[in-house]
Amino acid sequence: MRLALIVVALGAAAYVARAIRWPFADGDLFWQKHLGAYVLAHGALPHALGGETFTAAGAPWTPQEWLLGTLAAVTIAHGTLWMLGAAAGLAVAVAMLLCARRAVAAGASAAAVAVCVALLFVDVEGSFGIRAQVFAWPLFCALAWLLDRRGRAIFWVFPLVALWANVHASALIAVPLVWIDAAASAVTLGLRDAETRARCVLAALVPFATLLTPLGVRLPVYAVSLLGSPIRASIKEWQPLGWHHDFFWYGGMPLLVLASVAIRTSLRERPRDVAWSALLLAMTLSAVRNAPLLGFALVPLSARGIDALLGRFAWWPVDPLRSTGPRRLAAWLTAAAAAAVVVASLRVPAAKGAFAPPVATFARVAALPGEHRVFCYDFAVCSIALDYPSLRVFMDGRADPYPPAVWRDFNLIRSARRGWDARLHDYRVDVVVAGAGDALDRAIARSPDWRALPQADRCCRVYRPAAAR
């Protein structure tokens, strides 16, 4: 465990610094802070999109990230968003520590646990940011840790899932996980065993924990509807696992391979964890956003695989920090290294081509006289426009509540397919924010009906109708 603590300290330092340095990684915080401001002002959650969009005003909306939105509104208003960034990094650290504790309790060596945690840091990289799902990660890991307990302790899962449901709709995954746990207990211990009966009671109760939010039954309905939603095809993190998802191939796949080394032992010792991993692997193959959850579930099995591989080497140091002297030295060196990682990460310049929110672009558009209808090449980018009452958007980062017809038109326009210009005219769009060099940018630049404004941000260009002043 001590080796794992070193890995967690260094990894968490890097992630904390990254979140503080680049908090607006995907633009979602721009709409989330408006959601939070609404919650603070009205003491309730909105139920529909408002007039800030001209394509779907009044469309039903399930604002499941309301808690993060409220925190974003408060921290941004007080200039303390860095605290939310630090909390996101610490959430990853807590998740890692819980995974490490589970692996240690399963009998894994210190070295094996440390290797698995290091791979896990790589695996979660693709989904990390100041995001509601990141704050749900330690809750997922705490669920698994609690289900490793016996007796009454497992009933802490109920309030944990209720808390999780208020953080993110991914809490619905707790239901099949608890059901699998009860089924595994029934198979291994028998239906008459007191432990099995307790887990069956928990399995019956947990679905009701997902209803303990301001959204009530709307949250599980929303989560289930996403499984077959046509909009998934247009959102990157909902895409199937691909060769370009390096974080999985360098982090998650090694964990999967290591777990397979000891699969026969794991099936005998931890059949429930194997079933969990199989479910989460299927979910990851269909939507890459689930890769971190798969990694969290794999850690005890992967650590067992490492020990099986290296058990033949008697010289392998399973715990080089057993004595007091090396432990103290490691603690001081780790603290110094973590501080150095934070400082270096905060000072490192943005990589060439790294995304930066085009705040200057929207400030320039908002300075134009009158109201404007804005189309953006990326719906998340258009969330910045919500800061300006004079701008109404085609679509913004909330994404989910927009009807399929709007999504079809959005994809037609942003890919500059046949009829793109007619659709812009039908919607009376008078500002287009196109990604620099993308299909829409190339097509609209050739059109005599549009003219470009001076470029304010590297990522994109703004176009106005040629007749507009």
| Mean pLDDT to the nearest integer, 431-460 | 92
- Give the number of other CB atoms < 10 A from CB of residue 350: 10
3-class secondary structure, 218: helix
Spatial distance between the Cα atoms of 25 and 34, rounded to a whole number of angstroms: 17
Strand-pair partners of 450: 465
Q: Percentage of the chain surpassing pLDDT 90?
A: 68
Q: Find tokens 């630049």 and name the residue.
A: 445
Spatial distance between the Cα atoms of 201 and 205, rounded to a whole number of angstroms: 6
pLDDT score of 351 more than 60: no
**What pLDDT, on a 0 to 100 scale, did the predictor assign at position 44?**
93
**What pLDDT, on a 0 to 100 scale, did the predictor assign at position 315?**
46
* Contacts of residue 277, Cβ cutoff 8 Å, sequence gap at least 6: 256, 259, 294, 297, 298, 301
pLDDT score of 317 more than 60: no
**What pLDDT, on a 0 to 100 scale, did the predictor assign at position 332?**
62
DSSP characters over 404-415:
HHHHHHHHHHHT
Residue 249 — very low, low, confident or very high, per pLDDT cuts 50/70/90? very high
**What pLDDT, on a 0 to 100 scale, did the predictor assign at position 338?**
64
Cβ atoms of 297 and 100 within 8 Å: the answer is no
Cβ atoms of 184 and 144 within 8 Å: the answer is no
Average pLDDT taken over every residue of the chain: 89
Q: Find tokens 């990326």 and name the residue.
A: 378
Residue 357 zone, left/alpha/beta (φ > 0; ψ -120 to 50; rest) = beta
**What pLDDT, on a 0 to 100 scale, did the predictor assign at position 294?**
96
Q: Among 202-216, 224-238, 304-318, 404-418, which is the least confidently predicted range?
A: 304-318
3-class secondary structure, 393: strand
Higher-confidence residue: 219 or 468?
219
The tokens of 328 are what?
């103290």
Residue 58 zone, left/alpha/beta (φ > 0; ψ -120 to 50; rest) = left
**What pLDDT, on a 0 to 100 scale, did the predictor assign at position 350?**
59
How far is CA 143 from each of CA 102, 138, 279, rounded to the nearest angstrom?
A: 11, 8, 16
Cβ atoms of 404 and 435 within 8 Å: the answer is no
| Mean pLDDT to the nearest integer, 119-133 | 92
Spatial distance between the Cα atoms of 122 and 37, rounded to a whole number of angstroms: 34
Spatial distance between the Cα atoms of 71 and 80, rounded to a whole number of angstroms: 10
3-class secondary structure, 388: coil
Question: Environment class of residue 85 by beta-carbon count within 10 Å: exposed (0-12), middle (13-18) or buried (19+)?
Answer: buried
* Contacts of residue 248, Cβ cutoff 8 Å, sequence gap at least 6: 123, 126, 241, 284, 288, 291
The tokens of 204 are what?
């019956």
Q: Which of 1-5, 87-91, 455-459 is the most confident on average?
A: 87-91
Per residue in 161-217, pLDDT (tens digit) is: 999 999 999 999 999 999 999 999 999 988 889 999 999 999 999 999 999 999 999
**What pLDDT, on a 0 to 100 scale, did the predictor assign at position 14?**
86
* Closest C-alpha among 27, 25, 41, 26 to residue 73: 41
pLDDT score of 228 more than 90: no
pLDDT score of 69 more than 80: yes
Cβ atoms of 7 and 118 within 8 Å: the answer is yes
Question: Environment class of residue 395 by beta-carbon count within 10 Å: exposed (0-12), middle (13-18) or buried (19+)?
Answer: buried
pLDDT score of 29 more than 80: yes
